Amino acid sequence: DSGVTQTPKHLITATGQRVTLRCSPRSGDLSVYWYQQSLDQGLQFLIQYYNGEERAKGNILERFSAQQFPDLHSELNLSSLELGDSALYFCASTSVQGNTEAFFGQGTRLTVV
């Protein structure tokens, strides 16, 4: 158990819909990262938040957005969903200071039909 919690584990939705994925980081970790893994590919960095503020942005579509709340949990919002958005979405957390390795949650498998 990495200490990072993601909900839901599985999500099936139709094209055009909007979904919200949730992540609770490890206790004490201020930084949250979102990654997307499509069909046995590598993990693509989407976005990072640190203590409530956006810190870095990767290959995140404009239809996607994220935020980190005062209690440090984070949500990834995916809208106007397309078939190609079907993927595993992982959240990871790190304290940023000192510890470099990020701890990953179990992921949310999104299927768009």
Partner 1 sequence: DQQVKQNSPSLSVQEGRISILNCDYTNSMFDYFLWYKKYPAEGPTFLISISSIKDKNEDGRFTVFLNKSAKHLSLHIVPSQPGDSAVYFCAARGNAGNMLTFGGGTRLMVKP
Among 10, 13, 89, 103, CA closest to 46: 89
Structure tokens at 73: 């949990």
Per the document, the length of the chain is 113
Taking the complex as a whole, the smallest distance from the CB of residue 80 to partner 1 amounts, in Å, to 26
String of DSSP letters for 35-60: EEE-TT--EEEEEEEETTEEEEE-S-
Taking the complex as a whole, the smallest distance from the CB of residue 92 to partner 1 amounts, in Å, to 8
Nearer to partner 1 by Cβ, of 78 and 90: the residue is 90
Nearer to partner 1 by Cβ, of 29 and 85: the residue is 29
Q: Where along the sequence are the contacts to partner 1 (CB under 8 A)?
A: 2, 4, 6, 31, 33, 35, 40-45, 48, 50, 55-56, 58, 90, 92, 94, 96, 100-107
Cis peptide before 25 (omega within 30 of 0): no
Nearer to partner 1 by Cβ, of 7 and 80: the residue is 7
